[in-house]
Structure 1
Amino acid sequence: MDMGNRDTIGRRILIVGGTTEARELAGLLVDAGYEVITSLAGRTDTPRFPAGIVRIGGFGGKEGLARYIRENCIDLLVDATHPFAAQISANCVAAAADADVPLIRLERPAWKKPEGATWIEVGTAQDAADALPRGARVLLTVGRQELGPFLAYTGCHYTARMIEVPAGLPDDWRVIAARGPFTLEDELHLMQERGITHLVTKNSGGTQVAGKLEAAVQLSIPIIVIKRPRLPKANAVDSVVWAHQSVTRIFRTG
């Protein structure tokens, strides 16, 4: 396809994503007649592809993203990245302003402290590792990029769950390669089987992985939660439905 020519059927939308919400939104927008390009970072070997056009790889920072928007006649940019992808979100804000296109940030709601939970909020993965007592049996669900502080703190027994497992993890770690969602029953079984005493997680939000929080509450397991990074201001919505409506409203009034 010649990406330099504007499709006369509808507007052209670039979604920077990789999340479940990004895939759902792409499907809705394609069905509505928009030309949708979804950009995936390419960090996983088995990504789930959305409807529409898919590109894989980075843009080269905010300048590269702004250049891509201009050269490919993008009418609207959607930041539907993970809540912890702070640099990419900042690049989206800067690039949209530079290229003079509207920006919508699709930001899933953060988790709140469940009733009855022992809820310990920390700022970084290092803070989470520092909060663990020696001898703790930890269910670690922070993703492979945040493993460093836990690898350095060898006083705990770790069960680490992630979509893709990096090479070189210690032999005494129990590593689970799995993609959610996980049911409450699954999480209860895992925590009981492994004798988990502490859950460490990012506040990724949404409903797909909330089963682990409920399981921890039921088993009286403390939850150490890494808070989300601060993001630059943007036109933000908290659901796929609201994002779809925002796209419609922007193009109706634009």
Structure 2
Amino acid sequence: MTLDHDPGPTASGPRWRLLILGGTAEARALAATATTRPDVAVVSSLAGRVADPRLPVGEVRIGGFGGAAGLADWLTAHRIDAVVDATHPYAARMRVSGIEAAATAGVPHLRLERPGWTAQPGDRWHRVPDLAGAVAALPALGRRVLLTTGRQSLAAFSPLTDLWFLARVVDAPDDPVPAHVRLLRSRGPYTVDGEIALIREHRIDVVVTKDSGGALTEAKLTAARRLDLPVLMIDRPAPATPPATVTTVDDAVRWLDRHLPAG
């Protein structure tokens, strides 16, 4: 649901108001923990890019804010006391907006971002800085591609008509899919055995992914390692530097305890 009206804290209600910019597993875990405090009202904001998102505990707002200025106005109007940005590592625009809006509104801001993946012995990773780099490098690495970079990236790979793609997405793209692209609508977590079976079934010879990190989709990397397949790994965008950054939900909870003290 979208939070349209905020009655504000009352004498018997929450003392603090927390906005979590979310959509990730870490955002949901943080919301679940923060909502156990009776003195904290939690609002989670989702971008609305997924048709059937996994919803966190507590109040949920879906949709954009209108950039940094719109978010700053929203923080002030809803009397937010702290912001935790736990959006996807590739949500670069939202990251910048969160930093700027919190500074404008004078609200403490934390970035919660899970670490990227680390290559293991036997991995054949080829790192590229961005989507364009992946498109340029891919033809030299394989002909049958497991593409796991999201539906918004499909258009970038569509001109590679000499390759065949199994594009795994949560939601189907709005535009028609070319004949050399097969959609697989699916959402993790995935198992190593399942990923190996998928790769063998479709005769995949290269995996393309973003360095999202986390355990939900890591199995494809283990499967590629065991099958001795190359992985084209798209690096995270250059980070905007917030006042504070943590990599675990536990550290985010400790930050909240300092900035929204109980009692």
Work out the number of aligned pairs and report it: 253
Q: How many Å separate the matches in 2 of 1:154 and 1:10? A: 57
TM normalised by structure 1 equals 0.96
Q: Check if 1:226 corresponds to 2:234.
A: yes
- Report the counterpart of residue 27 of structure 1 in structure 2: 32
Which of 58, 70, 88 does residue 82 from structure 1 map onto? 88
The percent identity for this pair of structures is 42
Q: 1:177 aligns with which of 185, 207, 227?
A: 185
Report if the CA contact (8 A) 1:83-1:228 is conserved.
yes
Per-residue deviation, residues 81-101 of structure 1 (Å, max 9, x unmatched): 000000100000000100001
CA distance in structure 2 between the partners assigned to 1:236 and 1:96 by the alignment: 14
Large movers: runs of 4+ above 6 Å: none
Q: How does 1:149-168 map to 2 (within 5 A)?
A: 149-166=156-173, 167-168=175-176
Matched, 1:206 2:220: no
SS of residue matched to 2:156: helix
3-state DSSP class of the match of 2:98?
A: helix
Q: Which residue of 2 aligns with 1:242?
A: 251
Unaligned 5+ segments in structure 1 are none
Q: Residue 4 of structure 1 contacts residue 71 of structure 1 at CA under 8 Å; is this kept in 2?
A: no
Give the alignment partner of residue 72 of structure 2, picking from 66, 71, 88. Answer: 66
Aligned residues of 1:79 and 1:105 also touching (Cα < 8 A): yes
The whole-number CA distance in structure 1 between the counterparts of 2:159 and 2:211 is 22
The residue number in structure 2 matching 1:129 is 135
Q: 1:147-180 CA distances to partner (integer Å, 9 max, x unpaired)?
A: 2221011111100001111140113322110010
Contact kept? 2:126, 2:230, Cα under 8 Å: yes
Secondary structure of 1:132's aligned partner: helix
Q: Which moved more, 1:51-60 or 1:8-17?
A: 8-17
Q: What do the CA deviations read for 1:116-148 (whole angstroms, capped 9, x no partner)?
A: 111100011121121122661100000011122
Distance in 2 (alpha carbons) for counterparts of 1:49 and 1:211 = 24
| Counterpart code for 1:5 | G
Q: Secondary structure at the match of 2:83?
A: strand
Aligned equivalents of 1:53, 1:128: Cα separation in 2? 38
How far apart in 1 are the matches of 2:90 and 2:28? 18
Aligned ranges for residues 103-118 of structure 1 at < 5 Å?
Answer: 103-118=109-124
Report the equivalent of 1:142: 149
Residue type matched to 2:251 in 1? W
1:98 equivalent in alignment to 2:107: no
Cα contact 2:163–2:180 (8 A) shared by 1: no
Confirm or deny: 8 A CA contact 1:12 1:36 kept in the other structure: yes
CA distance in 1 between counterparts of 2:180 and 2:208 reads: 18
After superposition, the C-alpha distances for 1:21-57 in whole angstroms (9 at most, x for unaligned) are 1111111100122200011111111011111111111
Let me know the Cα RMSD of the aligned residues.
1.5
What residue is the counterpart of 1:5 in the other structure?
Answer: 8
Moved more, 225-234 or 213-222: 225-234
Structure 1 letter corresponding to 2:28: R
SS in structure 2 of the partner of residue 201 of structure 1 = strand
TM-score norm. by structure 2 comes to: 0.92
Structure 1 position 2, deviation (Å): 4.5
Gaps of 5+ in 2: none
CA distance in 2, matches of 1:85, 1:2: 27
Query: In 1, Cα distance between the equivalents of 2:161 and 2:184?
Result: 19
Please state if 1:18 is matched with 2:26.
no
Whether the 8 Å CA contact 2:20–2:42 is kept in 1: the answer is yes
Q: CA separation in 2, counterparts of 1:31 and 1:251?
A: 14
